[in-house]
């Protein structure tokens, strides 16, 4: 499996499901590979509340990166890699690395083109407001 060759130890699928806009993988798909899997059944629509899964996703990414004395590698994906998974990575950077939303978006955009839908961008801005009020962002 190519992911194993790349050293990936954990996979976060932010589009788990069987419909056209989802990716039909599960824990069973990765059985015997040594890869730990976690799925979130998110829809790429403005009304979908992805923020309900921000902590869950950040926790999984944290655990994955800490695996094997900090040598873990986490592959975060959705169907297109353009909206759902980048939103989850941005939320992780905000929650665990104390980046504000602009810095987190800029960090991800330096690596690849992304386009979180407007609803997800609003949710990230709401997270930014919450973290700022709690003093949990760099420079706050």
Tell me how far apart the alpha carbons of residues 134 and 49 are, in angstroms, rounded to a whole number. Answer: 22
- 11, 15, 42, 78: which one is catalytic? 78
- The structure tokens listed for 58 are 């950040």
Whole-angstrom distance between the N-terminal and C-terminal Cα of the chain? 43
Under 8 Å between Cβ of 107 and 99: yes
| CA 10 from centre of chain | 12
- Cα of 104 vs its chain's centroid, Å: 12
Q: What CA dihedral angle connects 24, 30, 35 and 39, to 10 degrees? A: 30
Q: With CA atoms as reference, report the closest residue to 89 among 129, 49, 60.
A: 60
| Catalytic status, residue 125 | no
- Which residues are the active-site residues? 78
């Amino acid at each position: 499996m190519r992911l194993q060759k790349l050293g990936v130890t954990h996979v976060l699928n932010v589009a788990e499901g069987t419909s056209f806009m989802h990716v039909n993988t599960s824990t069973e798909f990765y059985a015997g590979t040594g890869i730990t899997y976690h799925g979130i059944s998110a829809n790429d629509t403005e009304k979908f509340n992805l923020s309900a899964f921000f902590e869950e996703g950040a926790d999984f990414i944290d655990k994955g990166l800490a695996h094997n004395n900090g040598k873990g590698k986490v592959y975060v994906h959705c169907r297109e890699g353009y909206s759902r998974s980048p939103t989850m990575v941005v939320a992780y950077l905000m929650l665990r690395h104390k980046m504000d939303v602009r810095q987190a978006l800029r960090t991800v955009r330096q690596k690849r083109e992304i386009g979180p839908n407007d609803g997800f961008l609003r949710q990230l801005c709401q997270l930014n407001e919450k973290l700022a009020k709690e003093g949990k962002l760099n420079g706050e």
